[in-house]
Amino acid sequence: MAKATSTAPEERQRDAERSQAGILAAARDEFAEYGLAGARMDRIAERAGLNKRLIYYYFEDKERLFASVLEQAYKDIRQQERELHLLDLEPVQAVRRLVEFTWHYYLDHPEFITLLNSANLHRGRHLPDIERAQALNSTLVDTLAEVLERGRREGLFRGGVDPVQLYVSIAGIAYFYLSNNHTLSAIFGRDLLSPKARNERLSHMSDVILGYLLRS
Amino acid sequence: MAKATSTAPEERQRDAERSQAGILAAARDEFAEYGLAGARMDRIAERAGLNKRLIYYYFEDKERLFASVLEQAYKDIRQQERELHLLDLEPVQAVRRLVEFTWHYYLDHPEFITLLNSANLHRGRHLPDIERAQALNSTLVDTLAEVLERGRREGLFRGGVDPVQLYVSIAGIAYFYLSNNHTLSAIFGRDLLSPKARNERLSHMSDVILGYLLRS
Amino acid sequence: MAKATSTAPEERQRDAERSQAGILAAARDEFAEYGLAGARMDRIAERAGLNKRLIYYYFEDKERLFASVLEQAYKDIRQQERELHLLDLEPVQAVRRLVEFTWHYYLDHPEFITLLNSANLHRGRHLPDIERAQALNSTLVDTLAEVLERGRREGLFRGGVDPVQLYVSIAGIAYFYLSNNHTLSAIFGRDLLSPKARNERLSHMSDVILGYLLRS
Amino acid sequence: MAKATSTAPEERQRDAERSQAGILAAARDEFAEYGLAGARMDRIAERAGLNKRLIYYYFEDKERLFASVLEQAYKDIRQQERELHLLDLEPVQAVRRLVEFTWHYYLDHPEFITLLNSANLHRGRHLPDIERAQALNSTLVDTLAEVLERGRREGLFRGGVDPVQLYVSIAGIAYFYLSNNHTLSAIFGRDLLSPKARNERLSHMSDVILGYLLRS
DNA sequence: TATGAATGAGAATTCATTCAT
DNA sequence: TATGAATGAATTCTCATTCAT
């Protein structure tokens, strides 16, 4: 009650968590659009509707802000991957679902792609320390390994498939198409993002991955 | 007097060409290492061993210099692709050769990857105009189409494969692994560029592409 | 409830005094280490283990805080000078004692030297008003005048010695050596603060001052 | 002749040496007035009538600029000390001349005092490397040693006087009076820089130093 | 009394680019 | 063709100080 008379925590401006989250979102968009070097702290503050000084107050400097954005981006995709529940599906369906998820995730989160590119341009200098990074990930590869093993046992999939290699291939087939969308569109003179083109790409991706995995 | 003889028109011209080539090479390395926004004109001049003013003399400004670097990079890879003579090989060998070439080209030209990423971060703003871009490319896709058709006719390959989709998948499978090398290494806790890992990746790539293409 | 007992007025007041004293000590160290312009309010708060806002609450702003630190520093040295009881000593012993005291005070209170330098860099802008400053000081010069007069009357000291001039000379001989310790050490390639060097300096100081004062 | 038609080197603006010297002079004044932390690069540029960027072009950053200013200040005083030709004088006159020179040098170069204070506040971090610093100095102490030895041999001066100690005392007696002029004026309620006061101080200084040195 | 959140003005430094020769 | 000197407009980051509770 007493609270209601003043501004409630969710509404007031002086809310550290909300400010930090706002900065992170603004920074994510800015870094995604311009890369690390091209991003402007001024624009991030403006996007967040907050004082520039506050960014330094919470995130120290541009590099650490970038690292925080990256970590958040990893957390988000890992979280969604975890919600796939691949082990509840038949192996073929599970692989198809992973391919579809990967495709749609990159399609819906174009910022993730450019953030990753920036992170790698800077040689991974901004990655969270190894343990945290691995902790974020291991689940999916383990799950994929289990899916592959089940499929193999059922006589559906070929054996000897390294889940890491496969995961990288699935991601790569989706990522490259979207990441290099502009150059590819120019070179091939096609709009690669038209609804039709998207469908065709997803279809092709599934064909490649399952064509490779399935025993004839 | 002595000077006049040493700066004969032909020699001056040769110097000019050498200077331009030096600037392009220096700029390529700088842009590859730091991206467009992170690159420094000062460092480019330093790398080239030439005065900064000269860069502006020959290339107008940073953006145009970047565009020149990009165009040169495309020319280089297209030139090498043309020398593959895929049509002189059996379809299976031709595809394998393309996969191997793609892998080794990216491996040997890491600058190409980051240049492409930069070009796409900037939405292809620096691409040569469409006709020139297409002119640079068409050959390979046409060649691949012919290879696929031959394979299909021989009963080796499945039908209905879009050569553009396939080309993008081959590139993507190689590119992603190398482009995101740092983040992937951190996440999987493996050195992705050890000789053994490289062999395994190439092997996997061929397996995926041919596993997909070959009729059972 | 329990809280109410623990924040009785007297205790709160004692806390307030402790806080102010803590801030003053922290500020003294910070100003001594970095000068007025180089000192950071943040660091002062950190050194004091108190919230930055509190500094403003008690001392208004940085300049006034510096002035308070300065005044405290003067009070401290004047207090100690008063405890010398020079008039209880023979003139020669009294002078020797003043020289020794000056030397040891500067040696033990290096912060006093840099605070003084800062105060003078700022043209004395932060000095307490004149009456208070003089009130703080007059004692020592008067005492020294009495010592010199006694010595003269006893035929030991030369006459016509201005106690202010002499006081400044004693201080200067000690001060310069310590204040410029770093540059002097570099120039002369000696460690001026080794125990041996300290003894030699004090010895030299006494020799100079008494050599000057004593009639042959 | 050809030169006369365009701007001669001494007059034109595009003169690297002149620009550097102008920056150094402006920086010296600014650092002297505000200390290292209080100095403003903007003001230095303004004082020099040059673009701020040029300061960075020639001196890298504020700290290095300060170091350059310091080195120049040392060179200046050492140069003047060298021109004293103390060995051409009788020992007593030589000492008197050194005292007078020291006094007048500090009086005429108040910036030297605050620069030294700043250098020492920063623990000599900006000093030229030791060899260069010593090279700049050694002469004077050697000369003073020779003067003292001559005086001793002639039965004028006491023996066992360390020239370094004496040099520091001479400097200190002058330096402290001027460096702490503001606080001392406030404390003693006298104007320490009136013509009369200056004469009295110099007189006192000579009395102290010679009173100490001369055998009775 | 005490504190974490927030800010505006400023400060050092950077950078692409142009000048003058 | 080639170059060292010079610059204006940013850009990151800092700092004393105030707000709101």
- C76-122 per-position pLDDT tens digit: 998 999 899 999 999 999 999 999 999 999 999 999 999 999 999 99
CA–CA min distance A29, chain B (Å): 13
Q: What is the CATH number of the domain that holds C71?
A: 1.10.357.10
Strands, E, within C47-130: which ranges? none
B53 CB-to-strand F distance under 7 Å: yes
D127 with D109, same domain? Answer: yes
Task: Judge if the beta carbon of A11 is closer than 7 A to nucleic acid strand E.
Answer: no
For B78, counting Cβ atoms within 10 Å of its Cβ (0-12 exposed, 13-18 middle, 19+ buried), the class is middle
CATH of the domain at A8: 1.10.10.60
Output the pLDDT for position D3: 37
User: CA triplet C170, C176, C181: central angle to 5 degrees?
Assistant: 140
Cα C6 to chain centroid, rounded: 38
Whether the beta carbon of D64 falls within 7 A of nucleic chain E: the reply is: no
Q: Within 7 Å: CB of A40 and strand F?
A: yes
Model's pTM, two decimal places?
Answer: 0.91
Nearest CA in chain B to A137: B187
Give residue C15's pLDDT: 79
Please indicate, yes or no, whether residues A172 and A140 belong to a single structural domain of this protein: yes
Is the model's pLDDT at A11 over the cut of 70? no
Place C139 in a pLDDT band, splitting at 50, 70 and 90.
confident
d(CA B62, CA B55): 9
What digits encode the pLDDT tens for the residues D60-84? 999 999 999 999 999 999 999 999 9
pLDDT over 50 (residue C31): yes
Question: Residue C3 has what pLDDT?
Answer: 43
- Cβ of C53 near strand E (under 7 Å)? The reply is yes
Comparing D118 with A9, which gets the higher pLDDT?
Answer: D118
| CB-nearest partner of B177 from A36, A123, A172 | A172
- Residue C2 binned pLDDT confidence (cut-offs 50, 70, 90): very low
Backbone angles phi, psi at B157, to 5 degrees: -100, 155
* A54 and A93 inside one domain: no
Say yes or no to pLDDT of B68 above 90: yes
Closest CB from B124, B177, B211 relative to A183: B124
Contact flag C183-D124 (C-beta cutoff 8 Å): yes
Question: From CA A15, how far away is CA A9, in angstroms rounded?
Answer: 7
Q: Which nucleotides of F are covered by protein (CB under 7 A)?
A: 1-9, 11-21
Q: Looking at the structure, do residues A159 and A182 belong to the same domain, yes or no?
A: yes
Q: Nearest residue of D to residue C70 by CA position?
A: D183
Confidence of residue B15 (pLDDT cuts 50, 70, 90): confident
Q: How far is the CA of A106 from the C1' of F16 (A)?
A: 45
Identity (one letter) of the amino acid at D138?
Answer: S
Residue D41, CB, less than 7 Å from strand E?
Answer: yes
User: What confidence score (pLDDT) does residue B11 get?
Assistant: 66
pLDDT of D43 > 80? The answer is yes
Shortest Cα distance, chain D CAs vs residue C64, angstroms: 17
DSSP classification of residue A146? H
Distance from CA(A53) to C1'(F13), angstroms, rounded: 9
User: Closest nucleotide to residue C62 (Cα to C1')?
Assistant: F16
> In this structure, are D193 and D111 located in the same domain?
yes
CA of B99 to C1' of F5 (A): 53
> How far does CA A209 lie from the centroid of its chain?
20
- Best CA proximity match to B168, nearest among A115, A179, A43, A75: A179
Helix (H, G, I), strand (E, B) or coil at A120: helix
| Final residue before a domain boundary, out of D14, D39, D60 | D60
B158 within 8 A of A216, measured Cβ to Cβ: no
Token digits of residue A105: 């995730």
Q: Last residue of a domain, which of B60, B75, B94? A: B60
* CA D176 to C1' E10, whole Å: 35
- Whole-angstrom Cα distance, residue B205 to residue A169? 8
Mean pLDDT throughout B126-152? 82
Beta carbons of D35 and C34 less than 8 Å apart: no
B145 and B56 fall within a common domain: no
Cβ-based contacts of B200 with chain A (< 8 Å):
162, 165
- Do chains A and C meet with 3 or more Cβ pairs nearer than 8 Å? no
What would the pLDDT profile of A148-205 be if each residue is shown by its tens digit? 999 999 999 999 999 999 999 999 999 999 999 999 998 888 899 999 999 999 999 9
Instruction: Look over chain B and give the mean of its residue pLDDT values, rounded to a whole number.
Output: 91
Q: Given an 8 Å threshold on Cβ–Cβ distance, is D38 in contact with C34?
A: no
DSSP 8-state secondary structure symbol assigned to residue A84 = T
pLDDT tens figures, C149-194? 999 999 999 999 999 999 999 999 999 999 999 999 988 888 999 9
Among the candidates C23, C40, C60, a domain finishes at C60
CB-based contact D106:D113 (threshold 8 Å): yes
Give me the pLDDT at residue B12, please. Answer: 64
d(CA B192, CA A120): 14
Q: Do residues D136 and C187 touch, judged by C-beta distance below 8 A? A: yes
Q: Give residue D153's Cα distance to chain centre.
A: 31
Please name the nucleotide lying closest to D14, CA to C1'.
F5
Q: Are residues D114 and D52 in the same domain?
A: no
Same domain, C118 and C146: yes
Q: How confident is the model at residue C9 (pLDDT cuts 50, 70, 90)?
A: low
Q: Do chains B and D touch (3 or more CB pairs under 8 A)?
A: no
Q: For testing the chain C interface, which of D123, D157, D165 should be mutated: the one with the most C CBs within 10 Å?
A: D165
* Domain interval for residue C192: 67-213
Q: Is the CB of D190 under 7 A from strand E?
A: no
Report how far residue C59's alpha carbon sits from residue C45's, in angstroms, rounded to the nearest whole number. 12
Q: What are the residue ranges of helices labelled H in chain D?
A: 2-5, 16-38, 41-48, 52-59, 62-82, 91-108, 110-121, 130-137, 139-153, 163-179, 181-188, 195-213
How many beta-carbon contacts under 8 Å exist across A and B?
Answer: 162
D53 CA vs F8 C1’ separation (Å) = 9
Comparing CB atoms, the residue among C35, C124, C204 nearest residue D183 is C124
Domain count, chain D: 2
For residue A7, what pLDDT is reported?
41
- Nearest nucleotide to the CA of A59, by C1', is F13
Q: Give tens-digit pLDDT for A107-137.
A: 999 999 999 999 999 998 998 776 666 666 6
Determine whether the interchain pair D176/C172 forms a contact, defined as Cβ–Cβ distance below 8 Å.
yes
B116 CA to E12 C1' in angstroms comes to 35
Q: Which residue is nearest to nucleotide E9 (CA to C1')?
A: A53
Q: Which residue is nearest to nucleotide F10 (CA to C1')?
A: A40
Residue D46 identity (one-letter amino acid): E
- Please determine, for residue B181, whether its predicted confidence score (pLDDT) is greater than 70: yes
Q: CA-to-C1' distance for A41 and F13, Å?
A: 10
Distance of alpha carbon B91 from alpha carbon B129, whole angstroms = 33
Cβ of C182 within 8 Å of Cβ of D124? The answer is yes
Q: Is the CB of A54 under 7 A from strand E?
A: yes
Which residue of B lies nearest to A180 if distances are taken between CA atoms? B120
Closest C-alpha to B147, from B81, B94, B100: B94
Cα nearest neighbour of A174 on chain B: B172
Question: Residue type for C105, please?
Answer: Y
Q: Are residues A133 and A32 in the same domain?
A: no
For B132 and E18, how far is CA from C1' in angstroms? 32
Q: Chain A contacts of B158, Cβ < 8 Å?
A: 211
User: With contact defined as beta carbons under 8 Å apart, do D111 and D32 qualify?
Assistant: yes
Instruction: Determine the average pLDDT of the residues in A20-41.
Output: 97
Shared-domain flag, residues B88 and B137: yes
Say which amino acid occupies A148: L
Same domain, B125 and B24: no
Same domain as A188, residue A141: yes
Is D6 near strand E, with its CB below 7 A from some atom of it? Answer: yes
